Amino acid sequence: EILMTQSPATLSVSPGETATLSCRASQSVSSSLAWYQQKPGQAPSLLIYGASTRATGIPARFSGSGSGTEFTLTISSLQSEDFAVYYCQQYNIWPQYTFGQGTKLEIK
């Protein structure tokens, strides 16, 4: 099983600033990496797939990068609605998918 590790567990950032979230895989997942956003009481929603491709309707302030074992989700010009929990997910080994434990992005 591929283990996904996200850091930090909690990130405190002020509105308008940039947040950088990390995800590390225990072995290479190539670019088979997705990011999801989950707001309190809601289902997760897809943000990024293929490590760097934004899903339909996702604003350009969300960007993903990385390949292999190291990945980053960057959110620039943070808006109030961006404060949520973010999960990475690998899908390199189909269909033995695994998620990271999540990063909570909170208002500083």
Partner 1 sequence: EVQLLESGGGLGQLGGSLRLSCAASGFTFKNYAMTWVRQAPGKGLDWVSLVTNAGDSTYYADSVKGRFTISRDNSKNTLYLQMNSLRDEDTAVYYCAKEYYGRFDPWGQGTLVTVSS
* List of residues contacting partner 1 (CB under 8 A): 32, 34, 36, 42-46, 49, 55, 87, 89, 91-92, 94-102
Please state the closest distance from residue 49 (CB atom) to partner 1, in A: 4
Which residue, 32 or 69, has its beta carbon nearer to partner 1? 32
Alpha-carbon distance 14 to 2, whole Å? 33
Please state the closest distance from residue 68 (CB atom) to partner 1, in A: 16
Alpha helices per DSSP H over 1-108: none
Structure tokens, 13: 């950032």
CA dihedral of residues 44, 47, 19, 105 (deg, nearest 10):
0
Please state the closest distance from residue 15 (CB atom) to partner 1, in A: 26
Other CB atoms within a 10 A radius of the CB of residue 73 amount to 28
Which residue, 15 or 84, has its beta carbon nearer to partner 1? 84
